[in-house]
Amino acid sequence: MIPAPDLTISGTATIEGAPLFAPLSLTLGSGQWTCLLGGSGVGKTTVLRLIAGLETGADFEGQITASDDQTVADRVAYMAQDDLLLPWATVAQNVSLGARLRGETPDIERRDRLIERMRLQDHMAKKPSELSGGQRQRVALARTLMEDRPIVLLDEPFSALDARTRADMQDLAADALKGRTVLLVTHDPGEAARLGQSIVVMTPQGLTSCDPPAAPAPRHVDDLETLETQGALLRLLREAA
């Protein structure tokens, strides 16, 4: 894997002249998970899509830079809330989709290792309709890892899962994405308290940092410091509403 850089996005965005988010500067630490929280409509997903080089519908004035001065968008892997699996493709085909879309020959050995890591080796020939929600998200995570990018952007990828499956996926993702520069956009203070090495709350007025728990992530859900951080984040979100 290419070494993961620090990443900074700074500037402001507007839609038809109306501010979408206040001037901000957000730095994602190299090899760390940054969790970005905020209410609906404050611009969290826009920030993520700007970093990914995707269409946002907004006019952005600012810059997105990496600490190694290399381009950003072509070093990004993106995982959305919806798994976005092709319904007619098997698990194996969905995991290697990126290479096939680029006209490249997929690394089959790597694909199979990732599928095994996601505990999906018994489901390789199945279609998405034959999988549970948690299994589908594991396929989506394997597809994200198959891209082998140093920067990974996660847009509420676990929010549609039940509590137990969500916790399992958080643990799996934390292990699988070690060493990468990760931005997780989430509405869930508990998720941020479990996973964040840097935690930032986005409001219409700007960004507010919140100290993460001292324990290494992923943290136990009932750890006192994790619960205190969850409470502090909830207070910040309610104050901004």
Per-residue model confidence as pLDDT tens digits over 15-64? 888 888 889 999 999 999 999 999 888 899 999 999 999 999 899 999 99
In the chain, where the domains are located: 29-85+149-240
pLDDT of residue 184: 97
Q: Compute the chain's Rg from CA coordinates.
A: 18
CA distance 37 to 202: 6
| Percentage of the chain modeled with pLDDT above 90 | 71
CA distance 72 to 97: 21
Region for 207 from its dihedrals, namely left if φ exceeds 0, alpha if ψ lies in -120 to 50, beta otherwise? beta
Q: Which CATH number fits domain 29-85+149-240: 3.90.800.10, 1.10.1740.110, 3.40.50.300, 3.30.70.380?
A: 3.40.50.300
Averaged pLDDT, 203-210? 91
Q: Per-residue pLDDT for 79 more than 80? A: yes
pLDDT of residue 1: 57
**183: helix, strand or coil:** strand
Bridge partner residues of 206 (DSSP): 203
Q: Per-residue pLDDT for 2 more than 80? A: no
Per-residue model confidence as pLDDT tens digits over 91-140? 999 999 998 889 999 999 999 999 998 999 999 999 999 999 999 999 99
- Tell me if 230 sits within 8 A of 189, measured CB to CB: yes
